[in-house]
Amino acid sequence: MAAKITDLLLMLLIFLSESCVIILAFNVVDFGANPDGVTDSSEPFLRAWAAACASPEPAVIYVPPGRYSITQVKFGGKCMSRGIEFLINGTLVAPADYNVIGNVGYWILFDGVDGVFINGGTLDGQGAALWNCKASRKDCPNGATSLGFIHSNNVMVYGLTSVNSQLFHVVILACKNTTLQGLNIMAPRNSINTDGVHVQFSSGITVVDSNIGTGDDCVSIGPGSTNLWIENIVCGPGHGISIGSLGRDYEEKGVQNVTVKMVTFINTQNGARIKTWGRPSTSFVKDVLFQHALMYDVQNPIIIDQNYCPYNKSSCPGQYSGVKISDVTYEDIRGTSATQVGVRLDCSATNPCRSIKLQDVMLTYEDGPAEASCVNADGTTSGVIQPMACF
């Protein structure tokens, strides 16, 4: 049954619908959602989703302005309609008590959906109490990712704001053809594990035109990521754009065909980073392009670190990474390094980095050129290179 259509939405729909396409609208308030910021609106949101999902025509779920308290929701199932849009003009608020969803993995999850469009809205993860817990104790819950997509295809997220997630802000796992555009992601510099966007086991993912500043990676790229496009991002504070950590498991899918262009890194720990565990693995990284990056006081503007081994050195026998890194290009990377070594290529003794290309790299440290440090790395240079490459 179609819910009542508000005047505002009706106007939008007339604008949106092409002459003979019918779009049905479902207002979450008509399903019982309460914009008072206190009443749990999880069930009404799920009922609105179920109605949209059962609709044979494309459907819009409308979230009017206001604050909606959401405990935890999973949107899934094979829907009848060819596309469901969430038009969000309000803020979704996570439980303030981290124990409520701290062990469920995801706060808002889309599982197995096809053709979903999330348009606008703000997600407030209220993660501060959990970060404080993690900073002082060891027995805290892991935390929930604010927005997750699993086994989903043809998803578009546009103009979403996500603040203060408990754990990651957005996770794309086992998805195809998904675009994130115009995102605003914010958490404090000292917040723990609040990665902006994490992509894993996914192909054809695009992240563009976004501002990401958190306490961890702006974008982190896990195993099995292929055909990934990242463009026009302002990153900082945070740990930069990171491929890895890879090679934690022996049998692991590699990362291939990643483009990262026009990213401005501001006061980040890293710029363009590739990070692997120092232990045996079948994993690999190949065909990566970092292009047109601006660095403002970045601690490690260009870094490959194949000796990652946190917590327990005995879990990295010999410290040699099995991850094979090849065909990585750094082109037009300029700006300031916050440490003396602006280019650090620290590759595996058993699997040296191959075909690293540096073209037009200009990094300064204080009043002079930054330095480069290479271990087990081989490649070529062209154009202006400062610091001089060390292959």
Q: Which of 132, 154, 181, 211 binds ligand NAG (CB under 6 A)?
A: 154
**Residues from 5 through 64 that contact ligand NAG (CB under 6 A):** none
Residue nearest to ligand NAG (CB): 120
**Residue whose CB is less far from ligand NAG, 311 or 367:** 311
**Residue whose CB is less far from ligand NAG, 2 or 16:** 16
Task: Note whether 158 and 119 are within 8 A (CB).
Answer: yes
- CA–CA distance, 198 with 56 (Å, rounded to integer): 33
- CA–CA distance, 324 with 155 (Å, rounded to integer): 31
In angstroms, how far is the first alpha carbon of the chain from the final one?
Answer: 67
312 binds ligand NAG per the rule CB under 6 A: yes
Of the ranges 15-23, 42-50, 67-75, 152-160, which one interacts with ligand NAG (CB under 6 A)?
Answer: 152-160
326 binds ligand NAG per the rule CB under 6 A: no
**Residue whose CB is less far from ligand NAG, 13 or 156:** 156
66 binds ligand NAG per the rule CB under 6 A: no
Q: Which of 2, 16, 104, 156 binds ligand NAG (CB under 6 A)?
A: 156
Of the ranges 35-43, 212-220, 221-229, 323-331, which one interacts with ligand NAG (CB under 6 A)?
Answer: 221-229
Cβ contacts of 245 within 8 Å, gap of 6 or more = 275, 276, 277, 308
Q: Which of 66, 76, 105, 120 binds ligand NAG (CB under 6 A)?
A: 120
Is 198 annotated as catalytic?
no
Q: Which of 42, 177, 336, 359 binds ligand NAG (CB under 6 A)?
A: 177
**Residue whose CB is less far from ligand NAG, 66 or 141:** 66
Residues forming beta bridges with residue 286, ordered by sequence position: 256, 326
Say what the alpha-carbon torsion angle 344, 375, 288, 266 is, to the nearest 10 degrees.
Answer: -10
Q: Minimum distance from CB of 90 to ligand NAG (Å)?
A: 9
- CA–CA distance, 304 with 242 (Å, rounded to integer): 10
Best CA proximity match to 355, nearest among 287, 272, 290: 287
Q: Catalytic pick from 30, 124, 195, 216? A: 216
Q: Minimum distance from CB of 310 to ligand NAG (Å)?
A: 11
Is 378 annotated as catalytic?
no
Q: Which of 315, 340, 380, 382 binds ligand NAG (CB under 6 A)?
A: 315
Q: Catalytic pick from 30, 195, 198, 239? A: 239
Of the ranges 100-108, 310-318, 324-332, 374-382, which one interacts with ligand NAG (CB under 6 A)?
Answer: 310-318
Say which amino acid occupies 33: A
Q: Is 129 helix (H, G, I), strand (E, B) or coil?
A: helix
Of the ranges 53-61, 100-108, 151-159, 369-377, which one interacts with ligand NAG (CB under 6 A)?
Answer: 151-159
* Angle CA 338–342–348, to nearest 5: 130
Task: Note whether 331 and 360 are within 8 A (CB).
Answer: yes
Strands 170-173 vs 197-200: parallel, antiparallel or unpaired: parallel
> What DSSP assignment string belongs to 224-260?
T-EEEEEEEEEE-SSS-EEEEEE-SSSS---EEEEEE
Strands 170-173 vs 300-308: parallel, antiparallel or unpaired: unpaired
229 binds ligand NAG per the rule CB under 6 A: yes
89 binds ligand NAG per the rule CB under 6 A: yes
**Residue whose CB is less far from ligand NAG, 119 or 166:** 119
Say what the alpha-carbon torsion angle 61, 62, 68, 70 is, to the nearest 10 degrees.
Answer: 10
Binding residues vs ligand NAG (CB under 6 A): 65, 89, 119-120, 154, 156, 159, 177, 179, 227-229, 257, 259, 312, 314-315
Catalytic residues: 216, 239
